[in-house]
Structure 1
Amino acid sequence: MKLANLEVNGNSHLGVCINDSIIDVTKALANEQRTDLPTSMMDYINADDHTQHAFQDYVTTLSKTNPAKVAESEVTFGPVVPHPEKIICVGLNYRKHADETNSPYPEVPILFNKFNNTLTGHNHNVVVPNVTKELDYEVELAIVIGQTASQVSEDEALNYVLGYATANDLSARDLQLRTPQWLLGKTLDDFNPIGPYLVTKDEVPDPQQLALTTTVNGKTRQDSNTSDMIFTCKEIIRYISQHFTLKPGDIILTGTPEGVAMGMPETEREYLKSGDTVTVSIEKLGSCTTRFI
């Protein structure tokens, strides 16, 4: 399934995308006066297997009965996971990105974090903070955890995944590199656009074979594949779970490929500014667009 977190009159509704149209499942359930199925993204994420399967059966029925559908352009998307317990990020996880920044390949995953204040959805505006002159884009494959994971093996790691999403790990490079800790440059408000969809893992048989791109004002800046990752998704999940427990709804941003502004020669770096439009796209998952104001 391609699930969406819809913003409707100040409330979160659970939507599903079928053939490029959106069904508001929350509204459909309310019309049928059903209370046995999830009506929000967090309800779905925290539901047991039986309830999730029942929800999928209901969506299949909905797709056949043709309820009122709306085009993607007519809905307001919130961040696909509105309230994760943790947002964990992996730095320097693509070989060519490490090469472009003259950085050695890490021997273990470099972890840092974002907070929930960074979350925003597809097609939202982001205010350029006045504290940075070096605002950069980073297309990233986001993993959404579906089951509590502690001390899991690499072979079992992907079993704990609920699905995947497209994310943009916005970065204020001047703040990021001000100290050895990256946190300040990564955690400004709305610095994690993510969406529009949470695509369940059954639709992504191999997360290490996904094309991913970034365009700025229609011009391609990043064009790579998740096969260039230094640490694969299952290696990342195993590594993190050896140190602390992953919970349903936790988001893992798995790193960005080459092509970021910081990776260009200093005289050629084109950082983001007001008026720019950035679209990050990942094969099978969709595109997340951000307008900077």
Structure 2
Amino acid sequence: MRLCTVRLSDGGTNAAALNSDRWIRLPFSDVGALLREDHWRQRVQDVIAAGGQDVDSETITTALAPVIAEPGKIVCCGHNYRAHIAEMGRPEPAFPTLFAKFADTLTGAFDEISLPNEAEQLDWEAELAVVVGATLVRATEAECRRAIAGYTVANDLSVRSWQRRTTQWLQGKAFDATTPLGPVMVTADECDPSDGLRVTCTVNGQEQQRGSTDDLLFDPIALLAYISTFTTLRPGDIVLTGTPGGVGAGSTPPRFLGDGAVVETEIEGIGMQRNVIRIQSNELTSSAS
């Protein structure tokens, strides 16, 4: 099953489900609201069986909102691909390296991403995002496996100059509307990261990242079990699983995104994002070409 959240002409949003080659509107404001409904899979099937109202095909490619518009929690894992850990010159961690984002950081899969001139050294980080579909408290791995609603694509665009101001990463990871989430959520029964899904990121047509989810140090199930030990995860919460090797900060010399850069982020079997970067000032120390 494939689900998305579309923007409406009146300023609202609407969840939608793919049925063959038709996208059908669902009676929920976004996919997160759907997931908070009991028996949500059956609700989708009932709407599809009843025919439903189509979503205009152009809307699917131009007016997508973040798949989950207002998650209660966004928990992210850094240093989780072995190749990325190696390129940053760090040892493999014994426990997940976690930080949080706010819902305000999310944006659509095809949105233009605009940043203030303070956002120097903007870097790309293609990531698999896990969407939680059931409440988890100190959950076993078996419970976590059953609780995964699905997977989507994220890019944890990071302002390295701010991230490195202190030992805490939050300020470099939380600029408003800098984390595209989508285009769709693919349900867990149709997508398994343990199969080794290809993760890529290109900048201005040049491939910068190519990795596979079988290189994850802590897989989605292990992350959910670990996180649920200290905080409750609920339907619609998001867990970003980390980025593979190839980030700009790991290059020699480091390379960063400039104004007008086109960033395409893709995960095999899920979909691709395409975001144009706009920065109020071009006075960056370096730019990706």
Give the C-alpha shift of residue 158 in structure 1. Answer: 1.3
Q: Secondary structure at the match of 1:227?
A: helix
Deviation at residue 75 of structure 1 after TM alignment:
4.1
Residue of 19, 22, 44 corresponding to 2:34: 44
> Counterpart of 2:95 in structure 1: which amino acid?
V
Q: What residue number does 1:124 align with?
A: 111
Counterpart CA distance in 2 for 1:236 and 1:205 is 15
CA contact (8 A) 2:16 2:24 kept: yes
2:14–2:28: 8 Å Cα contact kept in structure 1? no
Decide which of 43, 56, 60 is 2:45's aligned counterpart: 56
Contact 2:6 2:60 in 1 (8 A): no
In the TM superposition, 1:200-219 aligns within 5 A as 200-207=187-194, 209-219=196-206
Deviation at 1:127, TM superposition (A): 1.0
1:245 offset after TM fit, Å?
A: 0.7
Deviation at 1:217, TM superposition (A): 0.9
1:219-273 Cα shifts (integer Å, max 9, x gaps): 11001100001111111111001111101111000000000001111x2x22001
Distance 1:243 1:177, change over 3 A: same
Alpha-carbon RMSD across the aligned residues, in angstroms, is 1.9
Alpha-carbon offset, residue 89 of structure 1: 0.3
Check conservation: 1:22, 1:72, Cα contact below 8 A: no
Displacement of 1:57 after TM fit?
Answer: 3.8
Q: How far apart are the structure 1 equivalents of 2:125 and 2:264?
A: 10
The residue that corresponds to 2:273 in the other structure is 288
Distance of 2:12 and 2:267 partners within structure 1: 28
CA gap 1:192/1:264 in 2 versus in 1, 3 angstroms: same
Does the aligned pair in 1 maintain the 2:61–2:110 contact within 8 Å? no
Query: Equivalent residue for 2:220?
Result: 233
Residue of structure 1 equivalent to 2:2: 2
The 8 Å contact of residues 262 and 274 in structure 2, kept in 1 or not, is answered as yes
- TM-aligned CA deviation for residue 128 of structure 1: 3.0
- Determine if contact 1:208/1:232 at 8 Å carries over to the other structure: no
Q: Gaps spanning 5+ residues in structure 2: where?
A: 279-289
Confirm or deny: 8 A CA contact 1:38 1:47 kept in the other structure: no
1:47-126 → structure 2 map (5 Å cutoff): 47-49=37-39, 51-60=40-49, 62=51, 67=54, 69-71=56-58, 74-126=61-113
Q: Following the alignment from structure 1 to structure 2, what is the Cα–Cα distance between the partners of residues 183 and 95?
A: 22
Q: 1:22 touches 1:71 (CA, 8 Å); kept in 2?
A: no
Shift of 1:22: 5.1
Over residues 54-80 of structure 1, what are the superposed CA-to-partner deviations in whole Å (9 max), with x where a residue is unaligned? 322432554xx9957524665400000
User: What amino acid does structure 2 have at the position aligned with 1:148?
Assistant: T
Cα distance between partner residues in 2 of 1:189 and 1:39:
21
Alignment match, 1:254: 241
1:145 matched to 2:145: no
Q: Which runs of 5+ in 1 are unaligned?
A: 27-36
- Per-residue deviation, 1:211: 0.8
Alpha-carbon separation, structure 1, partners of 2:236 and 2:29: 16
1:16 maps to amino acid: A
What does 1:129-278 align with in structure 2 at a 5 Å threshold?
129-207=116-194, 209-265=196-252, 267=253, 269-278=254-263
Does the Cα contact within 8 Å between 1:45 and 1:249 map onto a contact in 2? yes
Q: How has the CA–CA distance of structure 1 residues 112 and 129 changed in structure 2, closer, same or farther, with 3 Å as cutoff?
A: same
TM-score, normalisation: structure 1: 0.89
1:205, distance to aligned residue in structure 2 (A): 3.5
> Number of residues paired by the alignment?
277
Question: Whole-Å Cα distance in 2 between the matches of residues 66 and 85 of structure 1?
Answer: 29
Q: Using the alignment, how far apart are the partners of 2:174 and 2:241 within structure 1? A: 16
